[in-house]
Amino acid sequence: MTQAGYPEMQGPNCPLPISKREMVVIGHGSGGQLTHELIRDVFQSRLGNPLLNAGNDSALLDLSQALPAGQRLVVSTDAHIVSPLFFPGGDIGRLSVCGTVNDLAMMGAQPRYLTATFIIEEGFLISDLEKIVDSMAAACSEARVQLVAADTKVTEHGKSDGIFISTTGIGWARSTPRIAGDQARPGDAVLVSGPMGNHGIAIAQARGNLGFQSNVVSDTAPLNSLVGQLLAEVPNVHVFRDPTRGGLATTLVEISRQSSVTIELDEKAIPIDPPVRVACELLGLDPLYLANEGKMLVILPAEFAYTALRVLRANPLGNQAAIIGHVTERPQPQLLLKTTLGTTRVLEMLSGEMLPRIC
């Protein structure tokens, strides 16, 4: 565990506990006895691997065998402040691991190592912390990554909304051809790995103030195995991207601009689970702008579209994959949607937060 750079040294600020604590206290962040116990009992016991357990200031990674020629190192970092912390289908722990794993996977990289920092508010329940770390351990195992370095700080009550987690991931990807947002080309097919909007609705429901119940769960999942399987059969994918904040529409507008192309979608082809559709109608939300945390867009030459579809559908995470559109060329980059009635409209980026409405 990387240690705090500045433990409090002015003498004891709080008495040592005489029994096992139920809540995180300021002393847990000060680098002393309590911190060691927290690290050992909550983190190392769950995430334990030789690198983390070594308890040094940093993790020594031996990449000489692992990084083959022609591969590039890929790094990504992310902060997670989701509210509520626990929601149907996941929690902040699973979200943070999958979020960073997927950022790497979207470059075509295989993630290997993760680091995590935890900023915890005084008063946070240890049992909740344990659940979150359990969740991270499970996600790391699913994604086959190791969490090799971590840090914990504790803030005063009221200063950090429960817990904030920041994760950094390292992996490697082939150098060429590049998989990136500027690689979409006219003639390409656009695929999505599954139904849209589940995570957004699961979060809306968990916030509790919208008065509805459903069995919609978040789709938070690591996508690296799906990416690996796809690249093994279809190496010339042009773009991968996971439609997180802002949803499918915002993500594709970004890509259309980066690649200077027009993308045309067929509304009938976009998979959306019926309860998600209904929840959106009830609240006045648009499923094309809701976040997804376990889905990806794939843009690739059209002749490989059906092969890609087959590979995606063979994996449980992609079993409702669909071809939803294609890339064309027009004087100005746009994202167009052919509606279920055959008319066409332009989709813009989401500006600001999408709020439930009554009108």
Partner 1 sequence: MCLGIPGQVTDIYDMEGTLMSKVDFGGVVQEVCVATVPEVKVGQYVLVHAGFALNILSDQEALETIKLFEELEKFNQEHPSGEQPE
Partner 2 sequence: MTTLTNANFRSEELTQKLVASIRAITTRPWNIMEICGGQTHAILQYGLDQLLPAGIQLIHGPGCPVCVTSLESIEQALKIARQDDVIFTSFGDMLRVPGAGQDLFSARASGADVRVVYSPMEAVKIAALNSQKKVVFVAVGFETTVPSIAQSVLHAKRNGITNFTILPANVLVPPAMHAILSSPENRVQGFLAAGHVCAVMGYWEYEPIAARYHTPIVVTGFEPVDILNGILMTVQQLEAGMHTVQNAYRRAVTREGNLTAQGIIAQVFEPVDRNWRGIGLIPLSGLGLRPEFQTFDVHEHFELGHETLAESPLCIAGSVLRGVATPHDCPAFGRQCTPGTPLGAPMVSSEGACAAYYRYQRVKA
Binding residues vs partner 2 (CB under 8 A): 209-211, 281, 283-284, 330-332, 334, 336, 339-346, 348, 351-352, 355-359
**Residue in the structure block whose two tokens are 């890929």:** 74
Alpha carbon distance 59, 168 (integer Å): 13
Q: How far is the CB of 272 from partner 2 (least distance, A)?
A: 13
Could you give the string, one character per residue 167-206, with x where binding to partner 1 holds by CB under 8 A and - elsewhere?
----------------------------------------
Q: Is 50 in the site for partner 1 (CB under 8 A)?
A: no
23 binds partner 1 (CB under 8 A): no
Paired tokens of 305: 């579209």
Residue choice 75, 86, 142, 212 for contact with partner 1 (CB under 8 A):
212
Quick one: what does residue 332 bind among partner 1, partner 2, none, with the CB cut-off 5 to 8 Å set by partner type?
partner 2
Please give the structure tokens belonging to residue 324: 């939803």
The 3-state DSSP class for residue 204 equals helix
For residue 142, give Cα distances in angstroms to 36, 101, 111, 115. 28, 11, 12, 16
Q: Annotate each residue in 265-304 with x if it binds partner 1 (CB under 8 A) or - if it does not, as one string.
A: --------xxx--xx-xx-x--------------------
Mapped onto helix, strand or coil, the DSSP state of residue 243 is: coil
Q: Which tokens hold the place of 100? A: 């960073």
Residues between 70 and 89 with contacts to partner 1, criterion CB under 8 A: none
User: Which residue, chain included where needed, has tokens 């989401």?
Assistant: 350
| Residue 20 engages partner 1 in binding (rule: CB under 8 A) | no
Taking residue 179's Cβ as centre, other Cβ atoms within 10 Å add up to 25
Least CB distance from residue 13 to partner 2, whole Å? 29
The site partner of 219 among partner 2, partner 1, none (C-beta below 5 to 8 Å per kind) is none
Q: What angle do CA 258, 261, 266 make, to 5 degrees?
A: 115
Hunting for tokens 């439609």 — which residue is that?
A: 243
Binding site for partner 1 (CB under 8 A): 211-216, 273-275, 278-279, 281-282, 284, 357-359
